Amino acid sequence: MTVTPEQKAEIASARAQSATTRRVTAPGLEEILYDAIPILDHGFIRVIDYMGDDGSIVQAARVSYGRGTKKVNEDKGLIDYLIRHRHTTPFEMCEIKYHVKLPIFVARQWIRHRTANVNEYSARYSMMDREFYIPDPTQLAAQSTENHQGRGQVLEGEEAAYVLDILKKDAEHNFASYEDMLNQDSAGNQKDPGRQGLARELARMNLTLNTYTQWYWKIDLHNLLHFLSLRAEGHAQYEIRVYADAMLETVKRWVPLAHDAFLRYRMGGVHLSSGGLAAVKALIAGQKPTREQFNLSAREWRELMATLGMESD
């Protein structure tokens, strides 16, 4: 993880401050507020601000006036019900803001989730840092032969070394060309006083996609949980999944009751089609259903059997 001296000073200053408030706070999240949580080789996430807690979800659902007089187990039961029946608006009453440092190719995948407020570092106004994501050798894998979007067998030995060498050389070479076009080094000094540099907004197009960028990302809890249900899931790309996993831990500190319900009903649960449900009922009745019998595709049938821990024919 790379945090600049300026960012370290900003974090120290923010952590040193405290304020009394009538607003609800989440003690677990307060403990890590502003701290940088390391991700990948140079990335991180930081919780910058938040609004609401588990009680805010309950309050919105009941449309009550104060914090309420219900017991914790009753609040838990209501949150479980809301998650289970996919009620969304009570969760939209809570919001959280992150500062994220991530490789550009991860950012372009991430931005497909259009339900957040985003402000990204601009290479039109500032020079990019000389920092690139270089995968750990254990993450270098061949293209999967079964999943067109996924990875297959991990590369080893000379094959892995060959790929790593290309990634490092290309990133360094392109960044050196980026500096030459700007006529500026990483410290901001002019390289050749007799030459005019290219505009930053043009020079940036030569950078590799593993260059790190940064943004502030603000989202409500409902949409955050949807994001995490897709990106913290086992089939998600590793490089975005590690960010989602870290964010899921911040949700646990922030809204532990909602986090628990989310894990049990969304991450640990399964949604079945009408045909899939009928097949499960047939199995319970002692029958031997087939996918053709319930008009299921081969892929859905495989997924259903895998979920039930059974072999597909």
Q: Does residue 201 sit in helix, strand or coil?
A: helix
- Tokens at 207, concatenated: 């950078």
The residues assigned a catalytic role are 231
Instruction: Return the percent helix, strand and coil in the chain, to nearest 5.
Output: 45, 15, 40
Is-contact 46 35, C-beta < 8 A?
yes
Backbone angles phi, psi at 246, to 5 degrees: -65, -40
- Tokens at 53, concatenated: 């807690």
Distances (CA, A) of 132 to 74, 169, 226, 253: 48, 11, 29, 30
Rounded CA-CA distance 221/94 in Å is 5
For the beta carbon of residue 226, count every other beta carbon within 10 angstroms.
16
Is-contact 45 98, C-beta < 8 A?
yes
- Tokens at 153, concatenated: 């067998």
Is-contact 15 34, C-beta < 8 A?
yes
**59: nearest Cα among 90, 87, 24:** 90
